[in-house]
A and B are shown apart, each in its own frame.
Chain A
Amino acid sequence: EAQVTQNPRYLITVTGKKLTVTCSQNMNHEYMSWYRQDPGLGLRQIYYSMNVEVTDKGDVPEGYKVSRKEKRNFPLILESPSPNQTSLYFCASSFEAGSSYEQYFGPGTRLTVT
């Protein structure tokens, strides 16, 4: 079964305490990305990766880091979280070949920074 998993699903933390949200996919997709979703703002892309060791900034990269050391994993790192990073985070993986495109999202991680 095609799957994107994220951990943890829920996290409450304090300002400045480093955290990592993991993302893993089992479809051997080359492309992976991170989004945050806030009320009234829709989904905004944080970072994306087109392959191992290839990452690029999305629309809202400030305060976040990513790494892509293996094809299946794409962790999101918040070195010093702040309250404005309280949000719902989604990881996604995708594959494109000609006119064919498939994309799967993870179940989401709800992060609260106090």
Chain B
Amino acid sequence: QKEVEQDPGPLSVPEGAIVSLNCTYSNSAFQYFMWYRQYSRKGPELLMYTYSSGNKEDGRFTAQVDKSSKYISLFIRDSQPSDSATYLCAMTPYSSASKIIFGSGTRLSIRP
């Protein structure tokens, strides 16, 4: 079993919809959680960074961490075609600057 599981998709939604992306994990020691966006043929771009449980909002993006269920989510409100990309979750137990484990990524497509 992988330490971090992420549905690969593809996920296709109409423009303006709320998108929900999710990851589950097995290691209860994970404390730092990240979400990245990766456009085709580009390097990943850090979107959200959270520590422990709770919610964090940044513009149209909300990251949610539920450590009791070992489940993290990224919500995208008012989705735009420019949000079409692969989204990767990642997590680490000690510090975000050390060993990081990534999910395999979810491919998202926003239909105009």
Contacts and interface: CB of A to CB of B under 8 A. Distances in A.
Interface residues of B, number: 24
A42 B103 contact: yes
A50 B97 contact: yes
Q: How large is the interface on A (under 10, 10 to 19, 20 to 34, 35 or more residues)?
A: 20 to 34
Interface in A1-46: 4, 30-31, 33, 35, 40-45
A5 to B, nearest CB: 11
A101 B51 CA distance: 11
Contacts of A96: 95-97
Contacts of B102: 35, 42-45
Nearest to A58: B99
A90 B44 contact: yes
Give the interface SS of chain B, mostly helix, strand, loop or mixed.
loop
Contact of A94 (B43, B45, B97): B97
Contact of A102 (B46, B51, B95, B103): B46
Contacts of B103: 42
B97 A31 contact: yes
Contact of B100 (A45, A95, A107): A45
A103 B8 contact: no
Nearest to B95: A96
Nearest to A45: B100
B99 A43 contact: no
A59 interface: yes
A54 B43 CA distance: 25
Interface of B: 6, 8, 34, 41-46, 49, 51, 88, 90, 95-105
